């Protein structure tokens, strides 16, 4: 990465917040699917991604969107996305619980 262009983790996360899981309508950062982001001095960005299941039908779509979003940032030479686990991230569980509580309260 050029010394005049220093990409930050916050910039990468901001770009990733524009990517939504179409099944739940929550962006992949707030849902907790993005577990870690690393940026090296050569412009390579690594993203650790969690999926709900190894059979996720949207995995290739989401990974492609991650690569496209990050490659559009200045100074990025390559993107490596690693699937590091499967399950419901705690962040998503909290979001879904709040959504359910809000809907229950609206019905009362």
Express each pLDDT in 87-100 by its tens digit.
999 999 999 899 88
Domain that holds residue 102: 9-107
Residue 37: CATH number of its domain: 3.30.300.130
H helix runs in the chain, sequence order: 9-16, 59-71, 90-107
| Euclidean distance between CA atoms 50 and 63, whole angstroms | 11
Residue 32 lies in a domain: yes
Per-residue b or e along 19-34, where b marks 16 or more CB atoms closer than 10 Å to that residue's CB? bebeeeebbbbbbbbb
Q: How many domains does the chain have?
A: 1
- For 13, the enclosing helix (H) or strand (E) is helix 9-16
Q: What is the pLDDT of residues 8-48, one digit of tens each?
A: 999 999 999 999 998 889 999 999 999 999 999 999 999 99
Residue 4 lies in a domain: no
pTM reported for the whole predicted model: 0.86
| Euclidean distance between CA atoms 88 and 86, whole angstroms | 7
| Euclidean distance between CA atoms 29 and 62, whole angstroms | 12
Locate 13 and state its tokens: 């996360």
Average pLDDT for residues 79-84, to the nearest whole number? Answer: 98
User: Quick one: pLDDT at residue 5?
Assistant: 66
Q: Which residue reads 């709900």 in tokens?
A: 52
Residue 62 lies in a domain: yes
Residue 90 lies in a domain: yes
Residue 51 lies in a domain: yes
């Amino acid at each position: 990465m050029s010394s005049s262009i220093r990409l930050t983790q916050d910039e990468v996360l901001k770009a990733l917040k524009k990517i939504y899981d179409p099944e739940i309508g929550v962006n992949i950062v707030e849902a907790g699917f993005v577990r870690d982001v690393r940026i090296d001095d050569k412009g390579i960005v690594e993203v650790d991604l969690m999926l709900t299941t190894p059979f996720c039908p949207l995995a290739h779509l989401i990974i492609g969107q991650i690569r496209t979003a990050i490659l559009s940032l200045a100074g990025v030479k390559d993107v490596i996305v690693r699937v590091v686990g499967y399950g419901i991230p705690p962040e998503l569980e909290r979001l879904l619980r709040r959504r359910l509580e809000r809907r229950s309260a609206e019905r009362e």
